[in-house]
A and B are shown apart, each in its own frame.
Chain A
């Protein structure tokens, strides 16, 4: 038997050994390896990190960092605002929000909070700062222009106007 053949059989035996290790060791090791790469889900989906939180009585509004589209991504830049907890929200929301934190109101967001979680949501956004785009009776049009209920929060994404 040649050395190449011996190496081949050794590798084949090792393959069977690795197969035994897959569920008990290798899968876990590689999973941890992938998790440690520091990857993150595209902010077009996740909405980006929270920049600051405004307390509005019994509920709060999380303001996320603005999200910009990559390369040829078919979405506009937007900023996400989360109203939560839903259980503390009044039946109708009409909040003036200082999105960029400069002390000046930027948008007025209005929507109804239905008791039934499955009722479709609609939002109106009145612009007080030309940096943002107005929205009228918008539901779930696009990732950059929507109102949705996710768990115990109502998320509104307001598109940014082109500079």
Chain B
């Protein structure tokens, strides 16, 4: 049965990875390895009925291999991880999904995009352009909603990996008010981006600049900006996940995550707590990497808006009370069917988007040896 259920994903993988196929031998080996990896993980999800731990292998691999492939490309194309002002003027700054919410207000009010990239396909690191990234984001968001943060975000895997390194959290009591952090950052950076006409999050607050590309430090201001990136990365992506076993950057800081929560309504899949089975032992609350379960929400049988459908609570529940759910259906009625449909959609997107990222990172490493 597991093989049969994996078959559609195997066919999908073949279609997607055939698209990535390149004449380069290291790239070919990387593509085959990635395809096998993704199919094997899905098979294990079907066989063990566990989602989180297998998804995590993919997610961490994507998080770790994205900087490898990206930094290699940046260095090869422009010789430095710092974005030179010339590249910004030429509109060749690569655009990721994180600043999308911050660009909405200036774009809506003035038809201006406050990002030094290209709207249409550009040269150099501009790649397919901002319209392509925005188009891809919208198409995938319709399918997975907030699941983006568990299956598509190529940054979240680093902190998820860090959180997985330690067996137990050293810092267990976290003030629940920190959960409002992403909303505060979203509001503040959106308004500041409009007022200053600048992509404020990218220029000042993105922790992942430390492992992708940073503002070329032309002056003291640039040094301060890069210092902030490094401190935020070290704190939110390395140290705090190690101490708390949570995805702290996602849970307390990421404005895109907050924005994506709003779009979660587009997805029919969610996680519910079957109150008839729940003891409650709150193991799910402890396991949730984004603090999306509280005593109150468990009592109501719901997860919070920030739930990103990673499946940690479902896997850890000893009484199968935390269940995958399709909106409109009764809670705990055929949760495996809900899980399967969600995984077909989300894993399909993960292969399409993350598969390419993993293959590129692997190819970069293999290229050293082959």
Question: Which residues of chain A have a CB within 8 Å of any CB of chain B?
Answer: 2, 4-9, 11-13, 15-16, 18-20, 22-23, 26-35, 37-47, 69-74, 140-141, 143, 146, 148-151, 155
B330-346: contact bitstring with A at CB < 8 Å (1 yes, 0 no)? 10010000100110110
Q: Do the beta carbons of B197 and A33 come within 8 Å of each other?
A: no
Query: Do A15 and B269 touch (CB < 8 A)?
Result: yes
Say yes or no for B166: interface residue by CB 8 A criterion: no
B278 interface residue per 8 A CB criterion: no
Does B190 interact with chain A (Cβ within 8 Å)? no
In-complex Cβ contact of A22 among B111, B139, B198 (8 A): B139
A41 CB to nearest B CB, Å? 5
Measured between alpha carbons, how far is A139 from B196 in the docked complex, in Å?
24
> Which one of A12, A38, A40, A70 lies within 8 Å of B326 (CB-CB)?
A12
Say whether B25 faces chain A, with CB atoms less than 8 Å apart.
no
Q: List 17 A-B contacts (CB under 8 A).
A: A5-B333, A12-B326, A12-B342, A16-B344, A19-B349, A23-B19, A31-B135, A33-B135, A34-B135, A35-B131, A39-B107, A39-B119, A41-B117, A43-B112, A70-B197, A71-B195, A143-B88
Apart from A29-B139, A69-B197, A72-B196, 13 more pairs, CB < 8 Å: A12-B269, A12-B342, A15-B341, A19-B349, A27-B135, A31-B128, A34-B119, A39-B119, A44-B197, A46-B89, A46-B91, A71-B194, A71-B197
B133-161, CB < 8 A from A: 134-136, 138-140, 142-143
Taking a contact as CB atoms closer than 8 A, the residue among A4, A15, A140 that contacts B267 in the complex is A15
Q: Which of A2, A13, A27, A45: most chain B CB closer than 10 A?
A: A45
* Distance between A22 CB and nearest chain B CB, rounded to angstroms: 5
Asked, given contacts A22-B139, A41-B118, whether A9 binds B134 with beta carbons under 8 Å apart, the answer is: no
Bound Cα distance A41, B119 (Å): 7
A26 to B134, CA, bound (A): 12
Q: Which residues of B (45-99) have their CB < 8 Å from a CB of A?
A: 85-86, 88-91
